[in-house]
Amino acid sequence: MANSLFNQLLLLILDAVFGFFTSVLLARFYMQWARVSFRNQIGVFVIAVTDWIVQPARRIFPLRSSLDLPTLVCAWAMQVLQSLLTAWIAGMALSSAGNAIVGLMIMGVLEIIRLSVFFLMFVVIVSAVMSWISSYNPLASVLAGIARPFLRPFQRFVPPIGGVDLSPLFLLLLLQMILLLLAWARSALLMLLR
């Protein structure tokens, strides 16, 4: 019983630490992709938290476009490591070494997509709320800058109604559907790894 409680606490800590660093890496990736300025409190924080891992990765994967591949690879590697540690702590017997490595790599991709979806949901919701109550807040412009490329396709087909932009609702619905598909894919992958 005590061992099970200790394992659960350890898994909770792992999830919090790896989730935090992966989320900040994803924030850096999306800020760069959306060409949002890093000259604000959020940008400075994101750079300070992630530079220790991104700068060495840029020596291996040089930055060549607005797609920050080194940051994305670091986020993926964090999730692969978390999946490996979680499997080890939970005492999962992985079927074979080759399958386990491929499975953990795929699990890392699924987790990156899942965390991206949660990150985008957070950005869209907070951005929409801030546009109503505090549009001049520096945080509002950063979040709106990240959300804009994802909202733009919906804004082409969904005109504002009474001056209210409903595109965030459609984007959030799509993100919820992606989460359902990811949950199915994750459970199917876990069944294959056992």
- Residue 4: the pLDDT is 83
**Residue 92 CA: distances (Å) to CA of 95, 159, 193:** 9, 50, 9
Which amino acid is present at 22?
A: T
- Tokens for 114? 């899942």
Residue 94 has pLDDT above 60, yes or no: no
- Residue 133: the pLDDT is 86
Domain count, the chain: 1
pLDDT confidence band for 56 (50 / 70 / 90): very high
Ranked by mean pLDDT, which of 42-56, 100-114, 153-167 comes out on top? 42-56
Place of tokens 């932009």: 165
Residue 98 has pLDDT above 70, yes or no: no
pLDDT, one tens digit per residue, over 1-29 is: 457 888 889 999 999 999 999 999 999 99
Half-sphere exposure of 134 (CA within 13 A, CB side): 9
- Residue 52: the pLDDT is 96
| pTM for the whole structure | 0.89
Q: Whole-number mean pLDDT of the chain?
A: 89
pLDDT confidence band for 67 (50 / 70 / 90): confident
Q: Structural domain of residue 161, as residue ranges? A: 2-193
CB 114 within 8 Å of CB 140: no
CB 69 within 8 Å of CB 63: yes
Q: Stretch 131-145: mean pLDDT, rounded?
A: 86
pLDDT confidence band for 120 (50 / 70 / 90): very high
Q: Stretch 122-137: mean pLDDT, rounded?
A: 88
Residue 41 has pLDDT above 60, yes or no: yes
- Tokens for 160? 């504002």
